[in-house]
Amino acid sequence: MKWEWKLSEPGANSGIKYFVNNETGLGIEYQMIDDNDWVTSGKMQANDYHTTGAVYELYAPSSTKELKPVGEWNDGKIISRDGEIEHWLNGRLIAKYNRFSNDFKEKIALSKFAKIEGFGLDKEGHILLQDHESIVYFRNIKIRRL
């Protein structure tokens, strides 16, 4: 999946969820947020698992990511092949994991998703554009079924 996105205002928060379960409406998330405002305002927790490009709550993105300022377009990409997942931001690989690995299961067990049986393990699921009461623009969304 590839898409372009931009945040409209300081403090904006959104994301794209994938492998979303039909019953719970929950899925793994590519976080999209105004990193600067959330950190300086004290709204963000003291870890990078909630910053742009993170596998929300589970894996922090690379510290070398290049997030464009609020109001400018960013390029996002999620690649999924046989359980191997990659998060890309503006042409750079910023997070990579295997959703069937022991490491993934251990991270789930330590997260707020711990009590959700089978979280992130569905063979198939939906894609969800998340709303957190922020205006976020999406364009040029391209999805290829593998």
Residue pLDDT, tens place only, 30-73: 999 998 876 656 666 557 888 999 999 999 999 999 999 999 99
Residue pLDDT, tens place only, 85-142: 999 999 999 999 999 999 999 999 999 999 999 999 999 999 999 988 889 999 999 9
CA 87 to each of CA 48, 93, 107, 117: distance values in angstroms, whole numbers, following the listed order: 15, 6, 17, 24
Domain extent listing, the chain: 2-142
Topology given in CATH for the domain delimited by 2-142 = Jelly Rolls (2.60.120)
pLDDT of amino acid 132? 82
Query: What CA–CA distance (Å, rounded) separates 52 from 27?
Result: 17
